[in-house]
Amino acid sequence: MSEILILFFGAVSAGLLGSLTGLGGGVVIIPLLTLGFGVPMHYAIGASLISVIGTSSGAAAAFVKEGFTNVRIGMFLEIATTTGAIGGALISGMLNANTIGIIFASILILTVILNLRKKPDHQEPLIEGSLEHKLQLYGTFPDKGVIKSYAARNTISGFFMMAFAGVMSGLLGIGSGALKVLAMDNLMKLPFKVSTTTSNFMIGVTAVASSLIYFQRGEIIPVIVAPVLIGVVLGSYIGSKTLMVSQTKKLKIVFAVVVSILSIYMMYNGLNHNFK
């Protein structure tokens, strides 16, 4: 019982940090379960995927209602991410825990770098007759009371980047939000608010696709998943309220420090074959 309570409060902390940084709780949940509680890597990934589904669902609904999320672009790119996620989940079953731990640490380091970069804010016009026009990958969003229009660019390269993000999500049990935003922000040149909210909308759907594979393999354990899911959702809710009065620059520093420490620790344990 005491271990479940500790796990619950750890999950609350993970959800709080994930919400404040926009990264999701998975990057903390995996190290917490594997290194803190000795949970086998594949069971930890299964629990993390379920928590990703829970935390993204509420926020995604709110963003869609407010008019920021482009559902059409999101559903088109989901073809890539869900395919990738299923592939990542299948690959996960072939890899040992230590290899996954090393890949996890590498993706965390990449995520730190991507999140510390200055993010551009594009607003590209629609080009008649383009691939984006034919696929209707354009839309509008509210910005300080003004409705602004935009259109996507570089759809093919963005699609393949999304497939890679899906593979990492299914393989590691994380939302891969940083990689999804990279695809939409830097490659497809969507406005920042649109790319971040559409990414959040996509994360839950991607996690559902890969979690089915983990469920079929018996790697989603209710006694682990339940306290993690409840804790992360509660932590995310607290974080969303705290975010309104927080300073973004300080949050980025906290994020960089915490995730850097976790990535180094995960890399060390993976190289020394400490994971189950």
Reported as a single tens digit per residue, the pLDDT across 234-253 is 887 776 666 555 555 666 67
pTM over 0.95: no
Domain range for 179 is: 1-272
pLDDT at residue 91 in the model:
94
More confident of the two residues 181 and 274: 274
The set of residues, in sequence order, having a beta carbon less than 8 Å from that of 210 and lying 6+ positions away, is 49, 85, 86, 88, 89, 166, 169, 170, 173
pLDDT at residue 218 in the model:
92
pLDDT at residue 68 in the model:
80
What is the residue whose two structure tokens read 């200055």?
Answer: 118
pLDDT digits (tens, 9 = 90+) for 77-124: 999 999 999 999 999 999 999 999 999 899 888 877 877 777 667 889
pLDDT at residue 26 in the model:
73
Give whichever of 65-69, 107-111, 133-137, 197-201 has the largest mean pLDDT. 133-137
Q: What is the mean pLDDT of the chain?
A: 84
- Of 201, 265, 257, 234, the C-alpha closest to 71 is 201
| Residue 234 in tokens | 């509660």
Number of domains in the chain: 1
pLDDT at residue 188 in the model:
92
